[in-house]
């Protein structure tokens, strides 16, 4: 007679059933009925799953199991994310314990080592997904860095490049001077820090007098190319368009009016350093200002910083303030707490700076993505996220897709060392089509992890090959995800 054990003990039951289900093939789609498909938002391989994953995976599995019992042809595609910067940091840390750096190994060996590590940790993540009971189809398990995905990534890169939607340009980026890499906004953690608000007087060129500006970063004044006020600020209305003499540097800079300026902040007049602050960068674009870099990629003052060249930021800040005071232009110093961006990996203070990067021009691409959400062909649950998504997409920025890392999808761009020709190709070229030289150098950067993630719903089903899965299971049914995905369109 069938009888249950006296006491409920989840441990044995859960292990036993997961193994049986997986072995039976019941996680695979049946091939009958209307498809119901979810592609897993791939968890990073670098960390244990956290409770956010616990929730995300549980809700997906509930929907998948429900639809499967409803008789749908149910597929949940499994997958893990190679997590560019995070994984590279873990491996670098391990090397450091052995007293080595990635440069000691060289790129190929470092990548080989990272693959070993990644394979092992992928296994751990898969086990954790099993532990939660997820009925994913392991026979379709994908990795954001696997060969098929690399093919998809290259195809997309080349296609967008040929359409003029990928370009190389200078851009203000979140720069971690320790990791020497660009970080996405999501990779920057903001922490409140106690600091000061320095008030400097910038003299007017004519008729004496000055404008007092307030700043949290005195050292960047060396790169100022304007002072901005709010156009509706009565205090400054009569000064708009006048010229100031930038102290120390003695450069003539204009007073401009911009809506971005907060009348309540400091004196209502702010210095504009387009090369070292993201908001100033935008003002620089709007007002056609000069971009003068004064800090290099290691957070050291560069040749444009004059006598401060070679100093680190902290020292430069101290000396600039001293000099301003000596010149009698220091109005006051206030205590000030403000939010400062830090690298989410190594906690170093972020230094916004200009850098040569690859970009995706988002405007033309966003058009259709906006349309399908506006007319509910893609429906958000809860529906308030529709507005959040649309607001984001209406103001979408061009997307910086290059990362100064080794671990990731290599950018499929080659430079001819002989004639400088740029080759953008799905397959590795052997010689330059312009001059025939075989001295080619591949771009050293890799693509932002999100570049491959953006293709995930169709690349995992086999694209660019025209597979049966793609035919049958695309478009997928549901994406269950955290809200941070919104910014990736």
Partner 1 sequence: MITMGMEFMEEVPFHHVYINQLIRDKKGRKMSKSLGNGIDPIEVVEEYGADAMRFTLSILAGQGRDINLDVKNILNYKHFANKIWNASRFSLMNIDQTTVTDAYKKDDLALSDRWILYRLNETVRSVTQGLEGYDYNLSSKSIFEFFWNEFCDWYIESIKPVLYQPEYAGRKQNTQSVLIHVLDKSLRLLHPFMPFITEEIWQMLPINKEKEHLMISKWPEYEQMKDFEKDANAFANLMEVVRGIRNVRSELQIPPYDKIDISCIYKDTKPFTIEETLYIQALASVNEIHQASEKPSRSSTALVSPILDVYCHLSGTIDLEEEKVRLAKKIEKAETDVKHAEKKLSNEKFIKNADEAVIEETKEKHREAMMTLERLRMLMSDFEG
Taking residue 105's Cβ as centre, other Cβ atoms within 10 Å add up to 17
Question: From the CB of 242, what's the least distance to partner 1, in Å?
Answer: 44
CA 244 – CA 378 distance, rounded (Å) = 52
Residues 37-76 interacting with partner 1 (rule: CB under 8 A): 39, 48-56, 58-59, 61-63, 65-66, 68-71
The residue (of 388 and 435) whose beta carbon lies closer to partner 1 is: 388
* Per-residue binding letters, 415-454, with partner 1 (x by CB under 8 A): --------------------------------------xx
Which residue's entry shows tokens 């994984």? 87
Shortest distance, position 62 Cβ to partner 1, whole Å: 4
CB of 250 to partner 1, least distance (A): 45
CB of 25 to partner 1, least distance (A): 10
**Between 115 and 488, whose beta carbon lies closer to partner 1?**
488
Query: Does residue 207 touch partner 1 according to CB under 8 A?
Result: no
Tokens representing residue 186 in the block: 């999501």
**Nearest Cα to Cα of residue 263 among 291, 225, 285, 235:** 235
| 3-state DSSP assignment of residue 343 | strand
Q: Which is nearer to partner 1, 50 or 439 (CB)?
A: 50
User: What tokens were used for 163?
Assistant: 């359409």
Nearer to partner 1, 48 or 107 (CB): 48
> DSSP assignment, residue 475?
S
Could you tell me which residues come within 8 angstroms of residue 123 by beta carbon, excluding any fewer than 6 positions away?
none
Q: How far is the CB of 302 from partner 1 (least distance, A)?
A: 34
Residue 479 binds partner 1 (CB under 8 A)? yes
Q: Binding marks (x or -) toward partner 1, 2..21, rule CB under 8 A? A: xxx-x-x-xx-xx-xxx-xx
Minimum CB distance to partner 1 smaller for 249 or for 470: 470
Site pattern 347..386 for partner 1 (x: CB under 8 A):
---------------x--xx-xx--xx---xxxxxx-xx-
If the CB atoms of residues 231 and 482 are measured against partner 1, the closer one turns out to be 482
| Region near partner 1 per CB under 8 A, out of 95-103, 238-246, 288-296, 469-477 | 469-477
**From CA 60, how far away is CA 62, in angstroms rounded?**
5
Q: Tell me how far, at minimum, the Cβ of 393 lies from partner 1, in Å.
A: 8
Interacting residues with partner 1 between 114 and 153 (CB under 8 A): 128, 131-133, 135
Residue 291 and residue 354: Cα distance in Å, rounded?
9
Contacts 24+ apart (CB under 8 A), 452-455: 452/144, 452/145, 452/149, 452/152, 452/153, 452/409, 453/42, 453/81, 453/144, 453/488, 454/488, 454/489, 455/149, 455/152, 455/153, 455/156
How many residues make contact with partner 1 (CB under 8 A)?
Answer: 83
For residues 297 and 229, what is the distance between their CA atoms, to the nearest angstrom? 30
């Amino acid at each position: 007679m069938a009888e249950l054990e006296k006491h409920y003990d989840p441990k044995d039951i859960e292990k036993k059933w997961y193994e049986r289900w997986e072995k039976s093939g019941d996680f695979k789609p049946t091939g009958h009925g209307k498809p119901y498909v979810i592609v897993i938002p791939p968890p990073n391989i670098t960390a244990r799953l956290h409770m956010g994953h616990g929730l995300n995976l549980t809700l997906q599995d509930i929907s998948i199991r429900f639809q499967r019992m409803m008789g749908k042809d149910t597929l949940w595609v499994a997958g893990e994310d190679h997590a560019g910067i995070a994984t590279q940091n873990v491996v670098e840390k391990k090397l450091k314990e052995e007293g080595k750096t990635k440069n000691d190994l060289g790129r190929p060996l470092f990548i080989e080592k990272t693959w070993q590590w990644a394979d092992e940790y992928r296994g751990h993540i898969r086990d954790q997904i099993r532990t939660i009971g997820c009925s994913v189809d392991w026979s379709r398990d994908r990795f954001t860095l696997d060969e098929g995905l690399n093919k998809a990534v290259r195809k997309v890169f080349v296609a967008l490049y040929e359409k003029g939607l990928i370009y190389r340009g200078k851009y203000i980026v979140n720069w971690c001077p320790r990791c020497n890499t660009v970080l996405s906004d999501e990779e920057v953690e903001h922490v409140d820090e106690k600091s000061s608000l320095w008030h400097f007087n910038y003299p007017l060129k004519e008729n004496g007098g000055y404008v007092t500006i307030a700043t949290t970063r005195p050292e960047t004044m060396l790169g100022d190319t304007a002072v901005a006020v709010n156009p509706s600020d009565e205090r400054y209305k009569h000064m708009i368009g006048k010229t100031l003499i930038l102290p120390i540097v003695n450069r003539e800079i204009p007073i401009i009016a911009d809506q971005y300026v907060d009348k309540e902040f400091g004196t209502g007049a702010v210095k504009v350093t387009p090369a070292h602050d993201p908001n100033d960068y935008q003002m620089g674009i709007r007002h056609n200002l000069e971009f003068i870099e004064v800090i290099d990629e290691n957070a050291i003052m560069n040749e444009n910083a004059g006598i401060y060249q070679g100093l680190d930021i902290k020292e430069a800040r101290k000396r600039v303030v001293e000099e301003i005071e000596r010149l009698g232009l220091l109005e006051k110093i206030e205590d000030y707490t403000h939010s400062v961006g830090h690298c989410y990996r190594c906690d170093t203070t972020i230094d916004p700076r200009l850098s040569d990067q690859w970009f995706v021009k988002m405007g033309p691409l966003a058009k259709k993505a906006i349309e399908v959400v506006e007319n509910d062909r893609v429906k958000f649950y809860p529906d308030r996220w529709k507005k959040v998504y649309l607001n984001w997409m209406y103001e979408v920025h061009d997307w910086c897709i290059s990362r100064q890392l080794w671990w990731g999808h290599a950018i499929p761009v080659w430079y001819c060392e002989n004639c400088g020709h740029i080759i953008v190709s799905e397959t590795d070229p052997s010689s330059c089509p312009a001059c025939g030289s075989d001295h080619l150098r591949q771009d050293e950067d890799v693509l932002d992890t999100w570049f491959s993630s953006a293709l995930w719903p169709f690349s995992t089903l086999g694209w660019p090959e025209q597979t049966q899965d793609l035919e049958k299971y695309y478009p997928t049914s549901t994406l269950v995800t955290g809200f941070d995905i919104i910014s990736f369109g």
